[in-house]
Structure 1
Amino acid sequence: MKNLTLILLLAMITCCSSPEQSQENSLLTRLDSIGESFIKKNQVLGISVAIMQKSDTLYTKGFGYTDLEQTKPVTNQSRFLMASVSKLIGAVIVMKLVDEDKLSLNDTLINLLPDFPNKEQGQTITLRHLLSHTSGLPDYASEIDSAYVKTGQDPYKNDIYTFLKDRSQIFEAGSDYSYCNTGFYLMGLIVEKITGNTFQQEVDRIINQPTGINLELIATAKSDPEMSPYWELKDQEFISYPHWTWIKGDGGLTATSIMLAQFPNKWANGRIISPESYQAMTTPIILNNGIQTGYGIGVRNGEFIGERIIGHTGGHKSTYSIMVYFPDRDLTFVVFINTDNSVISVREIFAEYARVVLDKEIPNYATEEIPPIDLTMYEGTYRNFDHKMNNITTIKLVGNNLHYCMGDDCVKMYYQDNHQFWIPEWPYDFVDFHVNQDDEVLAIKEYYTGFYSVLRQRIPDE
């Protein structure tokens, strides 16, 4: 019934799309006003949105421009950098090679890349670890990115290998989770070595040709007149920077919003990989100690206002690409912006569109009632290994409420259900505590705008 209602509501878009026919309170007007409102804040230069259910385009629209002179408006043909949404596509390519018996997720890194510079690490790290951010490898982006910005010189495999050669793992493979571009950079090398083809050729063979989609690496797409430049907001000015054309598996693909919105339906329904491989990708990984992360094989899992979502986000200094798939509805949202370092995130834009389309209210779980559980079980200090994040978080009980603290900055948390808590300052986010069979709290999983993003394991009390 929900899907039928959604289709009937969005039918207004196709039958009443002219300005004369649109009424102030129509769904089309409401959807258009969301993109327009974000552009008016002058924090992003251009926005592209697409919403699809199954193979039906429900909504697609561009807002703003791809140039400072405002002569090139964003259209449905405008192409954007997918950034780390590329990781999900790369994982699909790997799973297709698994279907073809060319790879196994249990293959070790040293067997797949015999020239990997740290033999000992390569013997314990598997392809599964690389694609689930559980390898423990340091993130090359923490150093190589800044070197590239400073010198303008493209890094090559030897540069990445030199970075990795004498560096220790930040944790034992499979024992923790830390978002890591290195694993997906190596994935790109593995795909090319195993197949003998370029990464783009495998994207064409596995994704583009069977589906009619046209995902392109930025190395070739940069010459497309529809490709949006890369902008960064700095001191309230839009500064143009060159695209990083050397990036492949960890963030180098491009697409239009409607093109990418066509992908999940085909991915989930056997057009690209087997149902077994799709299931493997979308099932969260379980660590050696039994803690379940919220990340599968190249896939973020999560929940948006009570509904399951899967997909991925992408960005650099801020989040500027997102693909969100509601598998129970076969419904996809894609949002791109062409501006990095903005206070506006595509997560925020997606949330506003999804709330309207799904006819959902902004959640509010705030209550002063005492939860029917012992809140002291959650108190403690939790740590993560993400180099971009504050590594230490403390959970404190003050009165009847838990507080989430980073240093002296604390925010109140409200109990939802099943060990989940809500923070009013971030209404679409939630914190999920991992509790074992002995009622011991082992970790925190943090979900930002519904998507799993961070794992913080509890530091044992001394």
Structure 2
Amino acid sequence: MKKPVFITVLLLPLLYAGAQDVTRYKRLRKTDKELNQILQDWNVPGFAVAVVEKDKIIYSAGYGYRDFENKKPVTVNTLFPIGSSTKAFTATLLGQLEAQGELELTDRPAQYLPGFHFYNEGMDREISLLKILSHQTGLPRHDYSWYYFPSGSREELVERIAHQEPTAKVGEQWQYNNFMYLLAGSVAEQLKGSSWEEQVDERIFTPLEMGRSNTSIVEMAQDDDAAKGYTAHLDRDPERVNYYDIKGMSPAGAINSSVMEMSHWLMTWINGGVYQGKEVFSSAFYERAINPQIMMGGSPGARHPDIHLSSYGLGWFITSYRGHYRVEHGGNIDGFSSSVAFYPSDSIGIVVLVNENYSALPDIIRNTIADKLLDLEPGNWSEERLKGYRAALKSSQQDTTQEKDMLRKPGTVPSHPLEAFTGKFGHPGYGTLEIKLVNDTLLASTCYTDMQLRHYHYNVFDVRVTRKGEDTNAYDSGLKFNFQVSERGEIESFSSGLQEGLDPIRFDRAPLEEALETEEMMAYAGNYSLHGMVFKIFLAKDSALHMEVPGQPEYTLVPYKADEFNIEGLKGYGLRFIRNEESLIHKVLLMQPNGTFEAERKD
């Protein structure tokens, strides 16, 4: 394999004005060489870094390639998706609104979003905007909901929250949740009558002179100096990863920026909310945002006992880093990783943007530079992480098939023909999945992913995933779909362990989407006799079929599939109509948990 050629672009000179700055300049002299070595050791496509002191950029550089295939170098102006580093921007919008008297962070989201509610009434009462921004809601991530089942509709995604189950009490523990930042952004939208994207541009990008930063991956892709995303490998060239359009979840992670423009963001935080003499957000919000709202873990670790007291503020992680107060947030989105950090007591800020999927480099580079600037004994950050990565890689490459298959029951087959597993299945907190049979293989698809279902045992299938538009082999998602059979003997649902700490999420077969014509529904209408009791099926004013049984309430029939209806509000109850040789309805089967009963048509 050819050795890659590494390009370093240092577009801005180091700036200094005083003795302290000169000292820091000297400490950064070997940085360029060290960062090039990190680039080579990890074999990543590229990255950019900028270092800020107070209101000056004292170091900025691009390394490697923003476009590996075409050998286009990273510059300090290259745009990268910053992922969850976006969250501090969303928190800031709410801080600005509070300063203007338009809301209080102690308010509940339902005060601004009519009809919104959480999974239970207790959560509705106790969850405030402050708890949302600091991840104290009791909700786990539920990330598969937006990642594998995305929607461009922010309203639809917010509605899913009501059906997402918590795993802890409100305020009991810290649990990261992207949906909560979607919710925070939606509150800002409702209050101002403009989109989250418009507000970020108007209230943050514009005053901070972040003119090329944006909130659209489509817009970023059209920029002449935009990075492409990759999965890196130590022993071969990186693989391209398609951009992920996070549009529906934008307030949780949609910003794209460069290290130059993110430096303006860091300057603002280092200066307590002020950029070039103008207040962008209040000092009161600044203090609240960078103060711990909830502890994540306080005990020193064995490997790095001088890094401890981890907590979360408002859009920021807060840590005691080797005796220095660090405020930071990382970000990961397909093909990209980031770290945006500042040290308030030291007036130092560092931003690292990398075009590698789930990269260790943002942390490694940030710590390497921080040790120099804070006059600390240098840590072996790259060497230590690389050693651990190689060990993990070696372990994962070992044959684990025998261990994996210990739970598998060989020689089993599905209970039904594969065709019976097809159809649309949905969960109100996750979305809808359609399963089709293509060339004797079950394929499931959402608007973002294609899934290949491979038989494991009985009615359980392994799930292998391919992102749409990528010409790559499907990868093992680690998920399984376990299909359930109804009392009618039909495949009615599947469940999958999509969220740790909860029972498998159940996706029920969706009813027919196509509305039946009046003439079609009238074919089922009539009087039917069951052991001498006559009941009536008729077309009601609501254009739906209803069933009238003597001495019982009127029931609404919901189309389920051809000639079959469910009874609304009664799980396990349904009707299956039987046609004669002339294809006319002459019988109906009443299906219910205690049995199936046949009734004859009497008209």
Question: In which range does the TM-score fall when normalised by the shorter chain?
Answer: 0.5 to 0.7
Give the aligned residue type for 1:297.
L
Residue 287 (structure 2) pairs with residue 279 (structure 1): yes
Query: In structure 2, which of residues 172, 176, 180 is the aligned counterpart of residue 175 of structure 1?
Result: 172
Residue 312 (structure 2) pairs with residue 295 (structure 1): yes
**What's the counterpart of residue 203 of structure 1?**
200
Deviation at 1:362, TM superposition (A): 3.7
Residue 163 (structure 2) pairs with residue 166 (structure 1): yes
**What's the counterpart of residue 349 of structure 1?**
365
What TM-score do you get using the length of structure 2 for normalisation? Answer: 0.52
**What's the counterpart of residue 239 of structure 2?**
238
Deviation at 1:158, TM superposition (A): 5.1
Distance in 1 separating the partners of 2:310 and 2:172:
11
Residue 336 (structure 2) pairs with residue 334 (structure 1): no
> Which secondary structure does the structure 2 equivalent of 1:309 belong to?
strand
Does the aligned pair in 2 maintain the 1:34–1:353 contact within 8 Å?
A: no
Query: In structure 2, which of residues 257, 262, 266 is the aligned counterpart of residue 255 of structure 1?
Result: 257
Distance in 2 separating the partners of 1:64 and 1:115:
50
The C-alpha deviation readout for 1:382-423, integer Å capped at 9, x for no partner, is xxxxxxxxxxxxxxxxxxxxxxxxxxxxxxxxxxxxxxxxxx
Does the aligned pair in 2 maintain the 1:51–1:334 contact within 8 Å?
A: yes
Change (3 A) 1:319 1:245: closer
Give the aligned residue type for 2:223.
D
Aligned length: 340
Residue 89 (structure 2) pairs with residue 89 (structure 1): yes
Q: Which has the higher contact order (CA 8 A, sep 6+)?
A: 1
Does the aligned pair in 1 maintain the 2:259–2:353 contact within 8 Å?
A: yes
Deviation at 1:6, TM superposition (A): 4.1
Bigger Cα displacement from structure 2, 309-318 vs 80-89: 309-318
**What's the counterpart of residue 380 of structure 1?**
none
Query: In structure 1, which of residues 1, 6, 9 is the aligned counterpart of residue 23 of structure 2?
Result: 9
**What's the counterpart of residue 216 of structure 1?**
214
**What's the counterpart of residue 371 of structure 1?**
none
Deviation at 1:43, TM superposition (A): 3.4
Residue 320 (structure 2) pairs with residue 306 (structure 1): no
Deviation at 1:162, TM superposition (A): 5.4
Does the aligned pair in 2 maintain the 1:107–1:126 contact within 8 Å?
A: yes
- Unpaired stretches in structure 1, ≥5 consecutive residues: 13-25, 149-153, 365-462
**What's the counterpart of residue 33 of structure 2?**
33
Deviation at 1:359, TM superposition (A): 2.8
Change (3 A) 1:83 1:109: same
**What's the counterpart of residue 458 of structure 1?**
none
Query: In structure 2, which of residues 129, 136, 146 is the aligned counterpart of residue 134 of structure 1?
Result: 136
> Which secondary structure does the structure 2 equivalent of 1:298 belong to?
coil
Change (3 A) 1:319 1:171: farther
- Bigger Rg, structure 1 or 2: 2
Alignment of 1:110-125 (within 5 A): 110-118=110-118, 120=121, 121-125=123-127
Deviation at 1:293, TM superposition (A): 6.7
Does the aligned pair in 1 maintain the 2:105–2:129 contact within 8 Å?
A: yes
Does the aligned pair in 2 maintain the 1:218–1:243 contact within 8 Å?
A: no
Distance in 2 separating the partners of 1:318 and 1:77:
18
Distance in 1 separating the partners of 2:159 and 2:98:
29
**What's the counterpart of residue 105 of structure 1?**
105
Distance in 2 separating the partners of 1:230 and 1:178:
28
Distance in 2 separating the partners of 1:89 and 1:331:
19
Residue 54 (structure 2) pairs with residue 54 (structure 1): yes
The C-alpha deviation readout for 1:310-355, integer Å capped at 9, x for no partner, is 131111489821111111121111111011044x331011111222
Percent of matched pairs sharing the same residue? 22
Give the aligned residue type for 1:277.
F
Deviation at 1:70, TM superposition (A): 4.2
Does the aligned pair in 2 maintain the 1:46–1:66 contact within 8 Å?
A: yes
Deviation at 1:259, TM superposition (A): 1.2
Give the aligned residue type for 2:199.
E
Distance in 2 separating the partners of 1:4 and 1:44:
36
Distance in 2 separating the partners of 1:36 and 1:293:
30
Deviation at 1:108, TM superposition (A): 0.7
> Which secondary structure does the structure 1 equivalent of 2:157 belong to?
helix
- Unpaired stretches in structure 2, ≥5 consecutive residues: 1-16, 300-308, 381-603
Change (3 A) 1:145 1:281: same
**What's the counterpart of residue 415 of structure 1?**
none
Deviation at 1:184, TM superposition (A): 0.5
Alpha-carbon RMSD across the aligned residues, in angstroms, is 2.7
Give the aligned residue type for 1:263.
W
Distance in 1 separating the partners of 2:328 and 2:112:
27
Distance in 1 separating the partners of 2:114 and 2:169:
20
Does the aligned pair in 1 maintain the 2:368–2:378 contact within 8 Å?
A: no
Distance in 2 separating the partners of 1:274 and 1:99:
7
Give the aligned residue type for 2:216.
I
Change (3 A) 1:323 1:286: closer
Distance in 2 separating the partners of 1:41 and 1:51:
22
**What's the counterpart of residue 431 of structure 1?**
none
> Which secondary structure does the structure 1 equivalent of 2:83 belong to?
coil
> Which secondary structure does the structure 1 equivalent of 2:136 belong to?
coil
Give the aligned residue type for 2:259.
S
Query: In structure 1, which of residues 152, 177, 185 is the aligned counterpart of residue 182 of structure 2?
Result: 185
The C-alpha deviation readout for 1:133-168, integer Å capped at 9, x for no partner, is 0012232313331335xxxxx453355245433332
> Which secondary structure does the structure 1 equivalent of 2:66 belong to?
coil
**What's the counterpart of residue 584 of structure 2?**
none
What TM-score do you get using the length of structure 1 for normalisation? Answer: 0.68
Deviation at 1:286, TM superposition (A): 4.5
Deviation at 1:47, TM superposition (A): 0.7
**What's the counterpart of residue 77 of structure 1?**
77
Does the aligned pair in 1 maintain the 2:96–2:281 contact within 8 Å?
A: yes
> Which secondary structure does the structure 1 equivalent of 2:61 belong to?
strand
Give the aligned residue type for 1:272.
V
Detail structure 1 runs of 4+ shifted over 6 Å in the superposition.
none
Alignment of 1:348-387 (within 5 A): 348-362=364-378
Give the aligned residue type for 1:285.
Q
Distance in 1 separating the partners of 2:158 and 2:60:
42
Deviation at 1:34, TM superposition (A): 2.2
The C-alpha deviation readout for 1:105-150, integer Å capped at 9, x for no partner, is 11112222223254723333111111000012232313331335xx
Deviation at 1:50, TM superposition (A): 0.1
Does the aligned pair in 1 maintain the 2:336–2:357 contact within 8 Å?
A: yes
Deviation at 1:204, TM superposition (A): 2.1
